[in-house]
Amino acid sequence: MTAQATGFGGAVAAPVGDDRPWRPLDLDGLPLRDSLRGQSPYGAPQLDVPVRLNTNENPHPPSIGLVDALGKAATLAATEANRYPDRGADALRADLAYYLTPDAGFGVHTAQVWAANGSNEILQQLCQAFGGPGRVAVGFEPSYSMHRLIALATATEWVAERRAADFTLSAEAVARAIERHRPALLFLCSPNNPTGTALPLDVVVAACEAMHAVGSGMVVVDEAYAEFRRAGVPSALTLLPQHPRLIVTRTMSKAFALAGARVGYLAAHPAVVDALQLVRLPYHLSSFTQAVARTALAHADELLGTVESVKAQRDRIVRELPALGLRLAPSDANFVFFGVFGDQQAVWRALLDAGVLVRDVGIDGWLRVTAGLPGEIDAFLAALTRVLAGADVDADGRVTLATR
């Protein structure tokens, strides 16, 4: 048994109960790859406060009936825990294909779907298969920071292009970036995290056509929050038959309220699925994970029934924050990006002092809040109203807290 490390870059403690002298060691003393030095691990603060609205989880726990079904599925899987799991997760992939078919508008087949331990493992496998040394991945920031971190972790060069000031992304900007960098991987995020903005399909089409023209790589559309999009906002799944180098990734962590199970998946051309099986670890998806995920999909109507409640709280935030003098990015996700503050860290700290944890993703002037339960949003709006009481607004519309 060893003591836990003090943190990324900190000295590692000696094993507990071992009184031998241990030479000090930290990351600087390890032969770490140069591209990883100075990096910080991904993660939101995990603080014990009454209202936690910083991690974009679905706030609705599973019903008692579903908990019982999940427990029975796990128990059944345990009876064969001495055996390796289904290596290809074929039954789970078939269930996911059936689930995706209405959104796609065509019959999705098992061969077009791949599953892994959260969408982050899907993204990692994509970088392992199509990225690596000498290859470039391009993203449009601000966006999901794991795209960059996973690229760097797989020795893939990362190039960050910028979104417009209103966090939108045009077809022309995407095509120019592809022509300029000729990436092996292009990451698009719709709805985008942390801004919540969705992409028009013409942007995705432009990306696929530009990538085909330069003959370089794959277009990845991260749709982790797809189930929360507003009516009339289409999914990139509908483009798959016409664009064989398009990949759409999703997760069961958000809408399915299954963050603790770690299940992500993608839909793509069957050749893409074949490619990922070259880099996946043997038996990467446990029997328990597969059983729980299949049970959740069998209860999809119940689980997705909470989505409308979450969307209602998101829309409530969108309606009420402008009355406090704040600006918002249009949201098709289960969170809202809001500002603009003269010092967003001061606002974050003031909300935390009031017992409400939101997310500061490090973008000047902006904060992100998850659409939680009605009572949690009551607390958030009340706390934010108190925090902003007497705030000053400068000529640029930035809100600065009053001096206490």
Residue 208's closest CA among 188, 234, 235, 230? 188
| 288 or 42, higher pLDDT | 288
**Pure H helices in 105-140:** 118-130
Predicted local distance difference test score (pLDDT) of residue 329 = 95
Query: What's the rounded Cα separation, in Å, for the pair 165 and 245?
Result: 29
* Whole-number Å distance between alpha carbons of 375 and 96: 33
What is the pLDDT at residue 270? 97
DSSP string, 153-167: HTT-EEEEEE--TTS
User: What is the mean predicted confidence (pLDDT) over 330-336?
Assistant: 97
Chain centroid to CA 278: 24
Q: What is the pLDDT of residue 15?
A: 58
Q: Which pLDDT does position 88 carry in this prediction?
A: 93
- The residue with greater pLDDT, 177 or 28, is 177
From residue 44, alpha-carbon distances to 37, 47, 250, 281 in Å are 20, 9, 20, 27
pLDDT tens-place string over residues 66-114? 899 999 999 999 999 999 999 999 999 999 999 999 999 999 999 999 9
- Amino acid identity, position 98: Y
Q: How confident is the model at residue 263 (pLDDT cuts 50, 70, 90)?
A: very high
Q: What is the pLDDT of residue 3?
A: 43
Q: How far is CA 185 from the centre of its chain?
A: 17
Q: Say if strands 246-251 and 264-267 run parallel, antiparallel, or are unpaired.
A: antiparallel
Cβ contacts of 298 within 8 Å, gap of 6 or more: 69, 95
Helix boundaries (H) for 131-239: 145-153, 171-181, 201-214
> Averaged over 272-277, what is the pLDDT?
96
Indicate if the pLDDT at residue 120 is higher than 70: yes
Task: Give the domains, in start order, of the chain with CATH numbers.
Answer: 51-56+302-400 (3.90.1150.10), 79-298 (3.40.640.10)
pLDDT at 17 over 70: no
Q: Has this prediction a pTM greater than 0.85?
A: yes
Residue 43, pLDDT score: 64
Please, which residues bridge with residue 96 across strands? none
Proportion of the chain above pLDDT 70, given as a percent = 94
